[in-house]
Every structure is written in C-alpha cells, then in structure tokens.
Structure 1
Amino acid sequence: MIRRLFFSICLLGILSSCVSKKNISYFQGLNQVHELHPDNNLEIQPDDVLTIRVSAPEQEAALPFNLTKSVGSMAGGASVANVELETYLVANDGTIQFPVLGKVVVEGYTNQELSLKMKELLEVYVQDPIVNVRILNFQISVLGEVRSPGTFSIQDDHISLSKALGLAGDIPLSGDRTNVLVMRQDNNKIVHEYLDLTNPEILESPFYNLQQNDVVYIDPNGPKRQTAGYLGTASTYLSIFSVIISLVILLTN
C-alpha cells in the first residue's frame, strides 16, 4: 500500500510539472498574420530631454548652434574637464529655445522628422548642415515575473515589447505570458492594455511598440501564485508526503 501511495504521489508530481506549449510559446500562428505594422518611432513630448548636434563641411559655421558645457571627472587622481553638448528640455508648450533660431516647436516630431526640420531652418545660416537629434530620457520599466526586473535606458528611438523583455532576461515558466500589462501616460492620464504574447495579433497593438516611461508588468501564473500560498503546489505536497512515508517506514521497521 505504501509503494502504491508513493507511486501515485510521484505520478502526481510528474503531471504537475508538465507545461503546455500553448501557454509558453510566443506568437503562435504567426504564419497566419500577413501584414505587420512597422516599429513606430517615438514622438517628442513635453519634459523630454534632447541633444541636438549640428555639423557642416565648414565646422566653424556650425559652432554657434552647438552649445557645450564643461563636465569634471577624475582620471588617475587628477581632475579632468570634459566638454559635452548642452541639453534641451521640452517645455509644456512643446517648444525648446535654440541658439539663434529662438523658440522652436518640437512636440509631436520623431527624431528624424525634427532633424529634417532643423536642417531646413539652419540652411539660412549654415551651408549643408547635418543635424542629429536624440532623446536622452527614453526609459522603460519591466517589473514582475521576469528574470532581471528593472528600469532600462534605451539608446535607439524605438523598442518593441519583445526587445524589452529580452533586456529583462525574458519571462520564466512561472510568468503569465497571456496577460502582460503595459501602462503609459497619455495627456496626464494613465492608459493601459493587456497583451497575450502567445497571440501574434499583438504585433498590431499600439502598445507593442513602447514609449517613454512605459511600464511592463508580468503577472505570475497560477502555479506560481499557489506556491506563494500556505501549502503551495503539488511539489510541496509531494515533499510532505515523502516525509510522512519515510516516517512510516522507519516506524514499521
């Protein structure tokens, strides 16, 4: 009877450890999706911090448009002064104050669009200008049931949900892939959407491509939540019954 009971408990533990592919595989049925939306580049918003670098064949002509600041650092015990570009904080009205040009509307433009706009404005003063725009405060947070939760600074001008999960070490088997929460701020409101990573249709969601300060939260799955409870999952019961059986064997011998 003890051997049958032990066999049943082992079988229960094996069955409880089986995970369906349907619950863990990303983008199932992707071959049925015929049209994918490209990555949406970020649009500049109020409170964004920008760097704008202007260069030209005659570099001296571009100097007035590249404000710099001195930043001190230590090297070999000595203080070293480094020169960095000044940053531009986007005001609440969506503008920045740029040298010579004055107030420039930047809200709603992507990096590339603003680069082209600034190029057109600067052609009056500089021949063949080249303008590079970068958003410095592009950060996203990935929290919950991931291997390396945290806040990540993004160097590119766009990042998808799958890339963000890659930065966080991906979702372990204990995470719920079918109910991923993405939260973002939109005009002083918090908007959100739940995405199912096993469904390729999320590629068409506006929340799949993340924006500044988006928060991604992965909920633990059912077995993980149960583990956090008082008795835990079947593996916990297996451990308890194993101890009981061992005691029974010792007492009956």
Structure 2
Amino acid sequence: MISKKNILFKIGILLFLALAFFSCASRKDIVYYQNIDGTASKEKTNSYEVTIQPDDLLMIIVSTEDPEIAIPFNLKTVSVVSPGKQDLVRGAESNQLYLVDSAGFIDFPVIGKLKIGGMTRTEVLQMLQDRITVYIKNPVINLRIMNFKVSVQGEVVFPGTYPVNSERITLIEALAMAKDLTIYGVRKNILIIREVNGIKSYNRVDITKADFINSPYYYLTQNDVIYVEPNKNRINGAAIGTNAGIIISVTSLLITLITLIVK
C-alpha cells in the first residue's frame, strides 16, 4: 500500500515540474539578433535624419566674422531674476530658443515667419542659409533640437522619459538607457507609438531578428513612446499574486482532502 507521505511527495514533485515547465523560456524568445550571421548583416542600413515637428524647441544661432552684423538675426538675451534671489541669471543659450507652433511655423528675426514643420534639419539649415545670405555674407548657422526625448514603458528595468542629447538615437540605445528589458519582456512585439504631423501610428518591432535594424523604427524620432509588453509568465504571476489568498486556501483544502482519502 502506498503511504500518505509518498503520495504527497509525488504530488509535490508533479507541481514543481509543472511550474518549471510553464516558466521555462526558450532561446528564441530571449536572444537578440538571432539571424545576425545571415543576410541582414550584409545589407546597407537605412539612412536617417530627424524632421522638425510642432512643439519642438530649437536653438538657432547665426554667427559671422563680425559678431555685430549677426546680432539682428539672433534672439535677444533676456535677463531673468531667480525666485528669492537678487542676482540676475543670464543664459544666452537658453534664450535662443524658437518654439515650433502647431502649424509648423517659427517667427525668425528680420526674415519673419518660416514654415519648417516636416522639414529635415539639413533642409532647414539650407533654407536659413539662402534667406540670410541675402543680408549678410557667409553666415554660419547652428541648429539643435533642445527638447528631444523618448519614453520607455513596460517590462524594462527603469521605465521613464529620457532626454536625448544628440538628434540620432536607435531603439536599442533607448532600451539601454532604461537598462534593457526584464526577463519578462516580450522581445518579439515591441510597440513604438509615433506622431507625425498630428497623426499617431502604432508599430511593432521584433528585436530577436537582426533585420529590424533596417526597419523605419530602428531610429527613433523625438517624443516616440516605446512599450514592452509582459509575457505570459508575468501576466500569470500577477494573477497568482492577486489571487494568492484564494490559491493558498484551495491548495490547503486539496491537501486536506488527499490526506483524508489516503488515511
């Protein structure tokens, strides 16, 4: 006759094996760039250049050999008094900012309103160069987006909104800033929410395949949102955690019933 201890031991083993089976993650679900040795490594990656969007804050500085000549083409520096302080805080760079309005325009000194929304950085620089050269010789123009940022949500170590110092960032770099995906993150279905000209698009990327490097979403644009959804283990674990009391009660009841049966 099989003893009660043997039955309980076998039940415990079966439960452990079941949990181990359902919690296992295969290599194909976890490893990045799985076909990196294939054709993807031989393809030329897509080129990318940021485009100007509404609500961008642009720093545009015009300079020439004679600084006095360039003054009319730059925003005036404004003195700011910090709250609770008597001293003046001067910040020439912070006061050289142009806000792109909802229609894609900025109001540029001397020249007037310019439609730059939807243009690339290179296109804007060329347009400014053409317009300003009418007034001054050989102007040097610097342009930079000052509020470039991306947001990373979901199953990453540190979700949040991250400012970008350059104007060129990849999906992998954004995930690295968030300290990468957790083991529960779905790598085959990363969502990128992007807004262009007021229209939002929802795009899926599989980073386990190296050919995503050639997709339009390898390079991110300002204000992109990256969402990493949880896998089934995380969802099931959350359900178990929510119903832990019920599960414990049911398990205790089952053990009690088994004990009574095998007595």
Q: Give the TM-score band, short-chain normalised.
A: 0.7 to 0.9
The aligned runs of 1:12-51 (5 Å cut-off) are: 12=18, 15=21, 18-32=24-38, 33=40, 34-51=42-59
Deviation, 1:139, is 2.0
Q: Which has the larger radius of gyration?
A: 2
Provide closer, same or farther for how the CA distance between residues 118 and 231 of structure 1 changes in structure 2, counting only shifts above 3 A.
closer
Letter in 2 for 1:119: Q
Task: For residues 138-187 of structure 1, give each alpha carbon's deviation from its aligned partner in whole angstroms, at most 9, with x where no partner exists.
Answer: 22211111111111222211221111111111101011111111112233
* Equivalent of 2:227 in 199, 217, 221: 217
Number of the residue aligned with 2:260:
none
Number of the residue aligned with 1:72:
81
Q: Distance in 1 between matches of 2:181 and 2:44?
A: 24
Q: Distance in 2 between matches of 1:229 and 1:14?
A: 17
Provide closer, same or farther for how the CA distance between residues 49 and 79 of structure 1 changes in structure 2, counting only shifts above 3 A.
same
Q: Distance in 2 between matches of 1:17 and 1:56?
A: 65
Provide closer, same or farther for how the CA distance between residues 218 and 152 of structure 1 changes in structure 2, counting only shifts above 3 A.
same
Deviation, 1:231, is 6.2
Deviation, 1:216, is 1.0
Question: Secondary structure of 2:78's match?
Answer: strand
Q: Does the 8 A contact of 1:74 with 1:80 survive in 2?
A: no
Letter in 1 for 2:81: G
Aligned residues: 245
* Equivalent of 2:131 in 99, 105, 121: 121
Number of the residue aligned with 1:143:
153
Q: Percent identity?
A: 36
TM-score between the two structures when normalised by the length of structure 1: 0.81
Task: Note the residue ranges of structure 1 that are not aligned, 5 or more in a row.
Answer: 246-253
Letter in 2 for 1:88: Y
Letter in 1 for 2:60: I
Deviation, 1:204, is 2.3
| 1:87 maps onto 2:97 in alignment | yes
Letter in 2 for 1:63: I
Q: Does the 8 A contact of 1:39 with 1:158 survive in 2?
A: no
Number of the residue aligned with 2:236:
226
Deviation, 1:31, is 2.5
Q: Does the 8 A contact of 1:116 with 1:131 survive in 2?
A: no
Question: Secondary structure of 2:53's match?
Answer: coil
* Equivalent of 2:207 in 189, 197, 211: 197
Q: Distance in 2 between matches of 1:107 and 1:187?
A: 8
Q: Does the 8 A contact of 1:49 with 1:87 survive in 2?
A: yes
Task: Note the residue ranges of structure 2 that are not aligned, 5 or more in a row.
Answer: 1-5, 256-263
Provide closer, same or farther for how the CA distance between residues 94 and 11 of structure 1 changes in structure 2, counting only shifts above 3 A.
closer
The structure richer in strand per residue is 1
Q: Distance in 2 between matches of 1:108 and 1:231?
A: 47
Deviation, 1:96, is 1.6
Provide closer, same or farther for how the CA distance between residues 42 and 206 of structure 1 changes in structure 2, counting only shifts above 3 A.
same
Number of the residue aligned with 1:248:
none
Q: Does the 8 A contact of 2:157 with 2:181 survive in 1?
A: yes
Q: Distance in 2 between matches of 1:223 and 1:91?
A: 45
